[in-house]
Amino acid sequence: MRKQFTSFLLIITLLLFTNSLNISTKLYDFNHTEVKNTIAYLSSNNFKGRLSGTEGNLEVTAFIRNQFKNLGLEPFNGNYYDQFETNYPHRLQDNPFLRIIDKNGAILKEYQYGKDYKEEMLNFKNNYVVFNNKDALYQAETALQVSKGKDSFVFFVPENNKLTFRSSFMGNEDKLHSMYVMLTKETLADINKHIGQNKKIVCFIPFDVRKTTLNNVVGVIKGKDSKAPPIVISGHFDHLGADLSGMVYGGALDNASGISFVLEFTKYIKSLGPPDRDIIIAAFNAEEFGCLGSNHFVEKNLDRLKDARAYNFDMIGSNSVPLSIMGAKADSDKTDFVRSITSTFNKSKVNYNYLFEDASDHEAFRKHNIDAVTFCDSDMSKIHTPEDKVEYISTDAIDRAFNIVSKEIVKEGFGSDPMLIHYRKIFMYSLIAGLILSILYSIQVRNH
Ligand SMILES: [Zn+2]
């Protein structure tokens, strides 16, 4: 009787062992080096900063589409591309100038691009202005505003007197000024002096605003129940391009990192087998133009996204800060979805921060009351400057995000398969139990 019971236990243990071995060998080992290699590729000078509307952005769009295809994602609604129209800042072939001229138009002084002045990306509704002290001027210590009819031009001294920071392009909104130019405080003082002497200032920045067609890239892992609300995993792939001297804003952390994380993470999810519900993988374009890609995607798919849960990744790769759970401005730590994610952090003993800002693509979902957060290593020390480079990306931070998000996705998307969650433990326990039972069994066999 005892012997039969031991054999029975042994068989069960062996079954558990082979089953968990089977799952564990099928499971893809998430690899932070792969993530970092993709970040290096996407932030390289090849793609010149991935500005929406440029060749580099188009090439990255195609690259991601091919990756989705190779990963075995199905096209979302029959097409990987999700098309939309937008304004974008178009680079003209001329050179910029900022000059002081006399009454006859002769050049008295020429300022140096990149050293004395530089364009801000915010808008280029107009790109040329001539003015003197007869114009409507607003002069402050760190800014000069020139109004010309319905146009207004802003010259300003950026923080720390540095011309390296580049804002997002906001040319899709009407209320903004026509053009923004950064000046060092020395340049601004010098210009004010010349205005006082009734000289003319002339400035030209070779960008204008044009229309273009862009694409998000969207794929799907089909779940067992495609009618159930889906999970969305996303990141934006666009960035801020290059300045007029050709200096590239590579955007390694913002957000080559997030999209590279999503690509590698997708390999892991695919290896878990079919999820309970659809998992949509979305690469958004034109986030730097005011989350245009995500807004387009959400508004077009409101029915499909009802009760969905969206996980967005924007800046994964700095461990000098805790990982942030970013909700929308109107959210708080009491918001259900935020609380659910917080419990995963607490169980994993990972440090976290809350941010409640409409500062990334989660806002497109939250606007329509769809559960969404952005995971963000909110290290602002280098982003939107040419220093946002792959060499500063931390693989520990990549692993930290994976540690949390893998648990979240298993919880949300594979809840009916508890074996998956504990496969490593089951594997070890059944190995040990199997050994003990085998010894017991052989002892009993010998005694008979
Ligand atoms: Zn970003």
Q: Could you tell me the distance, in angstroms and rounded to a whole number, from the CA of residue 269 to the centre of ligand 1?
A: 23
Q: Which CATH number fits domain 31-90+210-416: 3.40.630.10, 3.90.950.10, 3.10.20.740, 3.40.50.970?
A: 3.40.630.10
Q: Could you tell me the distance, in angstroms and rounded to a whole number, from the CA of residue 4 to the centre of ligand 1?
A: 62
CA 250 to chain centre: 13
pLDDT confidence of residue 432: 84
Q: Could you tell me the distance, in angstroms and rounded to a whole number, from the CA of residue 378 to the centre of ligand 1?
A: 10
Could you report the per-residue pLDDT of 211-227, keeping only the tens digit for each?
Answer: 999 999 999 999 999 99
Could you report the per-residue pLDDT of 410-423, keeping only the tens digit for each?
Answer: 999 998 665 666 66
CB 114 within 8 A of CB 163: yes
Q: Could you tell me the distance, in angstroms and rounded to a whole number, from the CA of residue 110 to the centre of ligand 1?
A: 35
Residues with Cβ within 8 Å of 391's Cβ and at least 6 positions away in sequence, in order, are none
Could you report the per-residue pLDDT of 16-52, keeping only the tens digit for each?
Answer: 777 666 666 678 999 999 999 999 999 999 999 999 9
pLDDT confidence of residue 221: 98
Could you report the per-residue pLDDT of 401-412, keeping only the tens digit for each?
Answer: 999 999 999 999
Residue 1 has pLDDT above 60, yes or no: no
Strand partners of residue 118: 182
Crossing angle for the helix pair 257-271 and 395-413, nearest 10 degrees?
40
Mean pLDDT over 187-199 rounds to 96
Could you report the per-residue pLDDT of 309-335, keeping only the tens digit for each?
Answer: 999 999 999 999 999 999 999 999 999
pLDDT confidence of residue 171: 84
The domains of the chain are located at 31-90+210-416, 94-205
Which of 64-73, 340-349, 427-436 has the highest average model confidence (pLDDT)?
Answer: 64-73
Q: Could you tell me the distance, in angstroms and rounded to a whole number, from the CA of residue 8 to the centre of ligand 1?
A: 56
Q: Could you tell me the distance, in angstroms and rounded to a whole number, from the CA of residue 196 to the centre of ligand 1?
A: 42
End-to-end CA distance of the chain: 12
Using DSSP, state whether 281 is helix, strand or coil.
strand
Q: Could you tell me the distance, in angstroms and rounded to a whole number, from the CA of residue 41 to the centre of ligand 1?
A: 17
Q: Could you tell me the distance, in angstroms and rounded to a whole number, from the CA of residue 146 to the centre of ligand 1?
A: 31
Q: Could you tell me the distance, in angstroms and rounded to a whole number, from the CA of residue 389 to the centre of ligand 1?
A: 14
Q: Could you tell me the distance, in angstroms and rounded to a whole number, from the CA of residue 28 to the centre of ligand 1?
A: 27
Tokens of 25: 């060998």
Rounded to two decimals, what is the model's pTM?
Answer: 0.90
Q: Could you tell me the distance, in angstroms and rounded to a whole number, from the CA of residue 300 to the centre of ligand 1?
A: 22
What whole-number distance in Å separates Cα of residue 144 and Cα of residue 157? Answer: 9
